[in-house]
Amino acid sequence: MKFVCSKTVLTDIVNIVQKAIGSKTSHPILECIKIEASNDGHVVFTANSIELCIEYTSQITVTEGGSIALPSKIFGEIVRRLPDGEVTITADSSNYITDIECEQSKFNIQGMNDLEFPDVPIVDEEYRTKISQKELKKIIRKVFPFISPMETRKPVLTGALFDFKGDVLTVVGTDSHRLAVINIPVEINTIPKKFVVPGSTLGKISQILTDDEESNVDIIVSDKNILFDFGAFQVYSRLLEGEFLKYEVILGATNSIKVKADKESIVNSLERANLIINDDLSSKTENKMPVRLNISYNKIEISCKTMKGYVNDVVGVEQSGGDLLIGLNCRFMLDALNACDEDSVVMEFSAPTSGCFIKPEDGSDKYTFMVLPVRLYN
């Protein structure tokens, strides 16, 4: 195998494809990038960790067709450190030694037989839609903090629910302590469809998505897999199985206490309170210490007492429906508020033992965030 490619193009390809390789792999071949060159000038770069697969096809000058699997880490580091110019890659099919040359720099590394490389998943199209890359990136940014990073009792919560109904897509993330629900319009499709995408996949996807409003990504779904088609490259992922949280029931809660507040003022106050809350995750006591929100007389008194000290802060608000004293996780509240786009938000409550719902000021359902309360002992 032999082909020539500019260093800039090759670097962009490798940076994208490498995102499919996990930090822990069960077999050395899963740490490789498979390169398959055709005599017609198409070169396909593939990384496949079984759970996530990225395949990138590029039109490149091919002198000799063939294929090889190269260790991703060293190959990527070499490519990124090459001088600018044309890169020539030559692989010997007899011993899998691969030469990488650019200007006056030359490397040779040991590759592997690509016959052991796993196949790209087959996605039999059951559902297809299209969404702008900018919009999908925004959705992932809002929902990602709410997805459970590790869940042994209910693994399906380590992903986000995609719920297509007509011309609306609802994306939901939860870790059982908080909830994010985002609604956006999409191309009309009469077939309702629900599926759960792993949070790890969404995290990698968000690193690839652009902020270009004109760029779209096609989403193709089968029974067990999902394909994000970017045109030049495709991202394949398995879907998570299991019954997701019935979020509609939670959204149906009636909340009599409503507070309209300036988002920046509330965020700044919570960040001041967070200074005395231990952010060491190994501290099981301090890290769970709630902030107290005392809502009365058109103001919120935010306070917290820990081993580090005591803080008390007051923010003016527009209040209706009565007074309330509630304990909430400060970090969770900050994640929710920082995901809101508007300058003002509405917080809704019903009781000290019920969740805090954060919604847009205009009364729309484009997003809802919910944070469950934490018991106050004094």
What pLDDT is attached to residue 167?
84
What pLDDT is attached to residue 216?
92
What pLDDT is attached to residue 288?
64
Q: What is the pLDDT of residues 302-357, one digit of tens each?
A: 999 888 899 999 999 999 999 999 999 999 999 999 999 999 999 999 999 999 99
What pLDDT is attached to residue 282?
42
Q: What is the DSSP-derived secondary structure letter of residue 157?
A: G
Over residues 192-210, the mean pLDDT reads 94
User: Per-residue pLDDT for 86 more than 80?
Assistant: yes
Instruction: Tell the CATH topology of 253-371.
Output: DNA Polymerase III; Chain A, domain 2 (3.10.150)
Q: Residue 13: which residues within 8 A CB-CB, separation 6 or more?
A: 45, 56, 58, 233
User: Per-residue pLDDT for 279 more than 70?
Assistant: no
What pLDDT is attached to residue 119?
94
Classify strands 299-306 and 344-349 as parallel, antiparallel or unpaired. unpaired
What pLDDT is attached to residue 291?
94
Are 245 and 172 contacting, i.e. CB atoms less than 8 angstroms apart? yes
Backbone phi, psi, residue 10, to 5° = -65, -40
What pLDDT is attached to residue 166?
82
**What single-letter amino acid sits at 348?**
E
What pLDDT is attached to residue 378?
65
Strand (E) or helix (H) holding 36: strand 32-37
Domain 127-249: give its CATH architecture.
Answer: Roll (3.10)
What pLDDT is attached to residue 317?
96
Q: What's the whole-model pTM score?
A: 0.91
Over residues 18-34, the mean pLDDT reads 89
Reported as a pLDDT band with limits 50, 70 and 90, residue 188 is low
Q: What rounded mean pLDDT belongs to the chain? A: 92
Both structure tokens of 378: 């004094």
What pLDDT is attached to residue 281?
44
Q: What is the pLDDT of residues 116-153, one digit of tens each?
A: 999 999 898 888 888 999 999 999 999 999 999 887 67
Domain 253-371 in the same topology as domain 127-249: yes
Cβ neighbours around 26 below 10 Å, total: 9
What pLDDT is attached to residue 286?
44
User: Per-residue pLDDT for 284 more than 90?
Assistant: no
Q: Which residues in 92-144 belong to E strands, given as ranges?
A: 97-102, 105-110, 127-132
What pLDDT is attached to residue 190?
57
Reported as a pLDDT band with limits 50, 70 and 90, residue 58 is very high
Burial track 43-79 (b if 16+ CB lie within 10 A, e otherwise) = bbbbbbbeebbbbbbbebebeebbbbbbbbeebbebb
Domain 2-116: give its CATH architecture.
Answer: Roll (3.10)
Are 38 and 2 contacting, i.e. CB atoms less than 8 angstroms apart? no
**Pick from 135, 101, 81, 92: nearest CA to 1:** 92
**What single-letter amino acid sits at 303?**
S
- Domain regions of the chain by residue span: 2-116, 127-249, 253-371
Q: Which residues pair with 107 in a beta bridge?
A: 100
Up-side HSE of residue 360: CA atoms within 13 Å toward CB?
11
CA distance from start to end of the chain: 72
User: Per-residue pLDDT for 283 more than 60?
Assistant: no
